[in-house]
Amino acid sequence: MAPIPGGYDHLVEAFKKRFNAAPALVVRCPGRVNLIGEHIDYSGYSVLPMAIKQATFVLARLNGTTKINLINTNPTTYPDYEHDTSVPWDGTKSPKWHHYFLCGWKGGVQELISSNKAPKSLGIDILVDGSVPPNAGLSSSSSVVCAALLTTLAVHLHLDTTRIDRRGIADLAARVEHYIGVEGGGMDQAIECLAEEGHALRIDFNPLRSTRLVLPSRAVFAVLHSGATMNKGATDYYNQRVVECRIAAQIIAKRLSHCNWREVRTLKHLAEFLSKDADEMIAVIDRHFEDDLVTREEVLHELETSDIDFAEYSLNDSTADSKFFSLLAWA
């Protein structure tokens, strides 16, 4: 993240053509691939991702108004959008491309306010470009969220990036993505904010920590796309898996009476209560669940709780009406 370097001339010219002014900065935020630990970050377990060359690019400048003017280099697919910052934005359940940017922007503003650096004017002119294939499992959406958050902080802090804590930003970016209804685990945001060239990162959670692992200098990683796409923000499929892992952990906690099931949020959390390592937890899961699919009524019976209580401690907005849960398959 820096004032405009070389190599972005075509984006700078596109920005000038649209806004009649030069951008103040460019932010680059990469996509990622996960080498080890697929779909376990939201259960609290460690993962090993690395960043890829493909990235989201954001060019920005303050405009002295209350308006965020968002344009994309691919306007046919991603139409222009204008947001008035004087109007509160509290998220959406049907996200479009600009909502991912607003997630990061809102997180950046919240960070500035909490640090007593609230800007007088929130208006920004924004041009977004990207090379991360969308809906391909390379974290294109989180790349936009992280880039937006970093852009908001950098442009309002007048490019003083020494005042930006990348680890804190990664943690915040994971939280604000909930504004578009995604209850992620934090891996995507961590690698996209903390990545270093030539390294993969082991990411640990609660608290967020990262450990660099040097990649072989002559290694080649082939990342292949099957052609199948999935927009995790536009469907309930992803959040359903997160919830199913949580419910499995809560049922086991209830059966073993080692802790209050309402306090258990992840399988890793349960493992810590039980003093079990990952291999031992697999045996615990297999021992407690013979049938994969369970009904909502069966879960309520297991937890000895009301539907209202269940919704508060186990579900999220997108799964509030779920009637069936596949516990064994995902846990």
Residue 101 has pLDDT above 60, yes or no: yes
Q: pTM score, two decimals?
A: 0.91
As given in the structure block, the two tokens for residue 269 are: 């959390």
User: What domains can be seen in the chain, in order of their start residue?
Assistant: 9-214 (3.30.230.10), 237-330 (1.20.1440.340)
CA–CA gap between residue 146 and residue 172 (Å, rounded)? 9
Burial 85-109 (b: 16+ CB within 10 A, else e): beeeeebeeebebbbbbbbbbbbbb
Residues serving a catalytic function are 188
Asked whether the predicted pLDDT for residue 195 surpasses 80, the reply is: yes
- What is the rounded CA–CA span in Å between residue 48 and residue 53? 17
pLDDT at residue 7 tops 90: no
At residue 158 the predicted structure's pLDDT band, cuts being 50, 70 and 90, is confident
- Calculate the alpha carbon distances from 85 to 66, 157, 172 in Å: 5, 18, 20
The confidence score (pLDDT) of residue 1 equals 45
Lowest mean pLDDT across 124-128, 205-209, 229-233, 239-243: 229-233
* Mean per-residue pLDDT of the chain: 92
Helical (H) or strand (E) element with 143? helix 140-156
Q: H or E stretch including 187?
A: helix 187-194
pLDDT at 316 over 50: yes
Other Cβ atoms within 10 Å of 230 Cβ, number: 12
